[in-house]
Amino acid sequence: MQNVRALAASSLAAVIADGRPFDGSIDMPRARANKRGATQKAVLPDQSQLNPRDLALFRELCYGSLRRYALLEVMLGSRLKKPLGKRDADIHALLLIGLYQLVFLRTPDHAALSATVNACIALQKTWAKGLVNAVLRNCLRDLEQGDRKQIPRPAQASEAALASHPQWLYQRLKADWPQHWQQIIEYNNSPPHMALRVDIARQPRADYQHTLQAAGLASQTSEVCDSALLLEHACDPTTLPGFDEGLCSVQDSGAQLAAALLHAGEGASVLDACAAPGGKTLHILQHCQPKSLCALDLDAGRLARVHENLKRCSRSGVAKLEVADASDTGSWWRGQPFDRILLDAPCSGSGVIARHPDIKLLRREADIAKLAGAQLNLLTALWITLADDGELLYCSCSVLREENERVIATFLDNEAGASALPIDAQWGIACGAGRQLLPKKASNDGFFYARLRKSPLR
Ligand SMILES: C[S@@+](CC[C@H](N)C(=O)[O-])C[C@H]1O[C@@H](n2cnc3c(N)ncnc32)[C@H](O)[C@@H]1O
């Protein structure tokens, strides 16, 4: 039988100590070399051996601890006499998981405490049982003196830590969105909603909602766009009615805005420059029926997921998929200009933190200027491949102005034939030459869109 807390501690340690992204799967502890150099067997087997209840607990412990990492670190720091070294990153992570359970989960205290202490055995670190027990009991004593319904506010915690955010990101959100930063923080600290895109060319949204209802799946319509449904409870997508035939896809409502904003008519040639895993590629094919579509991505593994996505909906024959660096046009462009380009640029992901809370730990402030440079570089390189009178839709899942309106403003300053087209919409906030949809708890992720038109140069 697997120890779910030990598995969670190993996975969390891989993010904290090694800077590895967390994708919801279990991280196998690396085999450790013994004194003679021979490697020991990995201690913990894989996630397929967890029953569904334990898998749900594993995910709750990992995602929850990542979401609340900044606050939990302050709570732990004040209780450790000296910090644990990197080789005991798993025990450090286990302590965070223990605190997370005491503060945020309804697990009875004694059960959470003893199960967390016992996880030291599964981690082959029996020596740590006393430490884990002492730290968690100490925390519990303090919690019992306050209101257990309130999130603790340790005196030594900064405003950012109290909001469970790294300092730099907290400050940026406040500076960029003085009227809306609390909404973003609330979304960032909440579990994500599951949104579906109904293929409304085949079935009206209301009909599909009834089909879901009949299958016992309650949902609400999204205010952001007319194809989105928000599920009351997340589920395995493969169990959704009509999923295998492409009647619906898992896609956030904010992401569903792209296909319509691209304004690609039936005869258009389209480039989807950063396409993987293909949510928007599929939507463009279903919504616009273009003459041709070329989907590029730098990452071969991720591009394979575009193929799977299109195959599920019987669209795999329509698009041409290519592994390429979109900014290196000499390596992939055959000289035939595109009528429409979607540039869904690589970004900080600061608009999708509810889905990827590891962003709070892994992103650094210095990354933002580098990302903005790469975004401008992609935009400038791809502009050459756009036909005269063609349109490029720039999109990011960031809420930071440096990656969005400032990239577009610099580009418009540099490029004589480029102009911004209006986005006439009910959703979002006008933001420079584009429009920002801010993330909202139980509603939508954050996305930025800007429409650019290319005029012939005389
Ligand atoms: C935001 S994701 C795209 C999401 C996708 N459009 C969708 O809707 O499913 C950005 C993608 O850009 C890819 N990427 C990053 N740099 C690239 C480059 N220079 N050329 C092509 N693809 C790139 C990444 O591998 C990643 O898959």
CATH number at residue 337: 3.40.50.150
pLDDT number for residue 48: 66
Question: Per the domain annotation, does 437 fall within a domain?
Answer: yes
Q: Give me 33's structure tokens.
A: 């070399």
Q: Tell me: do 441 and 296 sit in the same domain.
A: yes
Nearest CA to ligand 1 atom 19: 325
Q: Best substitution site from 297, 305, 394 to test ligand 1's pocket, by max atoms within 8 Å of Cβ?
A: 297
Q: Tell me: do 293 and 436 sit in the same domain.
A: yes
How remote is the CA of residue 38 from the centroid of ligand 1, in Å?
40
Domain that holds residue 339: 255-454
The structure's pTM equals: 0.94
Q: Tell me: do 126 and 261 sit in the same domain.
A: no
Q: Tell me: do 147 and 285 sit in the same domain.
A: no
Whether residue 33 has pLDDT greater than 50: no
Whether residue 41 has pLDDT greater than 60: no
Whether residue 178 is preceded by a cis peptide bond, meaning omega within 30 degrees of 0, is no
Q: Tell me: do 260 and 145 sit in the same domain.
A: no
Closest ligand 1 atom, CA of 327?
A: 19
Q: Tell me: do 137 and 274 sit in the same domain.
A: no
Mean pLDDT in residue range 251-276: 96
Confirm or reject: Cβ of 275 under 6 Å from ligand 1.
Answer: yes
Residue 362, Cα to own-chain centre: how many angstroms? 12
Closest ligand 1 atom, CA of 272?
A: 6
Question: Per the domain annotation, does 195 fall within a domain?
Answer: no
Read off the amino acid at residue 140. L
Closest ligand 1 atom, CA of 347?
A: 1
Q: Tell me: do 315 and 428 sit in the same domain.
A: yes
What percentage of the chain exceeds 70 in pLDDT?
95
Question: Per the domain annotation, does 283 fall within a domain?
Answer: yes
Contacts of 389 (CB under 8 A, 6+ apart): 453, 454, 455, 456
How remote is the CA of residue 345 from the centroid of ligand 1, in Å?
6
* pLDDT band (50, 70, 90) for residue 304: very high
- From 225, 248, 288, 397, active-site residue: 397
Q: Tell me: do 131 and 18 sit in the same domain.
A: yes
Q: Tell me: do 264 and 149 sit in the same domain.
A: no
Question: Per the domain annotation, does 450 fall within a domain?
Answer: yes
How remote is the CA of residue 88 from the centroid of ligand 1, in Å?
35
Question: Per the domain annotation, does 247 fall within a domain?
Answer: no
* pLDDT band (50, 70, 90) for residue 382: very high
Confirm or reject: Cβ of 284 under 6 Å from ligand 1.
Answer: no
Mean pLDDT in residue range 27-50: 49
* pLDDT band (50, 70, 90) for residue 23: confident
Q: Which of 145, 162, 179 represents a domain boundary (last residue)?
A: 162
pLDDT number for residue 362: 97
Closest ligand 1 atom, CA of 342?
A: 6
Cα–Cα dist 369/397, whole Å? 16
Whether residue 26 has pLDDT greater than 90: no
CATH number where 22 lies: 1.10.940.10
Helix 89-104 to helix 109-122 angle (10° resolution) is 170
Confirm or reject: Cβ of 278 under 6 Å from ligand 1.
Answer: yes
Q: Which of 105, 129, 162 represents a domain boundary (last residue)?
A: 162
Whether residue 34 has pLDDT greater than 50: no
pLDDT number for residue 379: 98
Whether residue 47 has pLDDT greater than 90: no
Residue with tokens 């209301």: 206
Question: Per the domain annotation, does 241 fall within a domain?
Answer: no
pLDDT number for residue 29: 58
Whether residue 84 has pLDDT greater than 50: yes
pLDDT digits (tens, 9 = 90+) for 103-130: 999 889 999 999 999 999 999 999 999 9
Confirm or reject: Cβ of 296 under 6 Å from ligand 1.
Answer: yes
Closest ligand 1 atom, CA of 296?
A: 21
Upper half-sphere CA count for residue 353 (Cβ side, 13 Å): 33
Confirm or reject: Cβ of 279 under 6 Å from ligand 1.
Answer: yes
pLDDT number for residue 42: 39
pLDDT number for residue 438: 98
288 catalytic per annotation: no
* pLDDT band (50, 70, 90) for residue 60: very high
- Considering its fold, how many domains does the chain have in total? 2
Whether residue 173 has pLDDT greater than 70: yes
Q: Tell me: do 135 and 259 sit in the same domain.
A: no
pLDDT number for residue 220: 97
Confirm or reject: Cβ of 327 under 6 Å from ligand 1.
Answer: yes
How remote is the CA of residue 271 from the centroid of ligand 1, in Å?
13
Confirm or reject: Cβ of 302 under 6 Å from ligand 1.
Answer: yes
Question: Per the domain annotation, does 227 fall within a domain?
Answer: no
How remote is the CA of residue 128 from the centroid of ligand 1, in Å?
42
How remote is the CA of residue 373 from the centroid of ligand 1, in Å?
15
Nearest CA to ligand 1 atom 18: 325
Cα–Cα dist 67/366, whole Å? 21
Read off the amino acid at residue 238. T
Mean pLDDT of the chain: 93
Question: Per the domain annotation, does 91 fall within a domain?
Answer: yes
Whether residue 202 has pLDDT greater than 60: yes
Confirm or reject: Cβ of 277 under 6 Å from ligand 1.
Answer: yes
Q: Which of 113, 143, 162 represents a domain boundary (last residue)?
A: 162
Q: Give me 16's structure tokens.
A: 């904290």
**H or E, element range at 249:** strand 248-250
Q: Tell me: do 422 and 282 sit in the same domain.
A: yes
Burial track 29-56 (b if 16+ CB lie within 10 A, e otherwise)? beeeeeeeeeeeeebbeebeebeeebbe
Whether residue 285 has pLDDT greater than 60: yes
Whether residue 89 has pLDDT greater than 50: yes
Q: Tell me: do 270 and 154 sit in the same domain.
A: no
Mean pLDDT in residue range 252-274: 96
Whether residue 69 has pLDDT greater than 90: yes
pLDDT number for residue 314: 85
How remote is the CA of residue 274 from the centroid of ligand 1, in Å?
4
Confirm or reject: Cβ of 344 under 6 Å from ligand 1.
Answer: yes
* Closest-CA residue to 297 (of 288, 310, 306): 306
Confirm or reject: Cβ of 9 under 6 Å from ligand 1.
Answer: no
Whether residue 443 has pLDDT greater than 60: yes
3-state helix, strand, coil in the chain (%, to 5): 45, 15, 40
Cα–Cα dist 347/374, whole Å? 9
What percentage of the chain exceeds 90 in pLDDT?
88
Specify the range with the lowest mean pLDDT, choosing from 136-140, 258-262, 310-314. 310-314
CB 254 within 8 A of CB 444: yes
Q: Return the sign of the alpha-carbon dihedral for residues 394, 398, 401, 406.
A: negative
Mean pLDDT in residue range 196-205: 96
For residue 281, give Cα distances in angstroms to 223, 246, 259, 273: 23, 13, 8, 10
Q: Give me 297's structure tokens.
A: 């991505």
Whether residue 333 has pLDDT greater than 80: yes
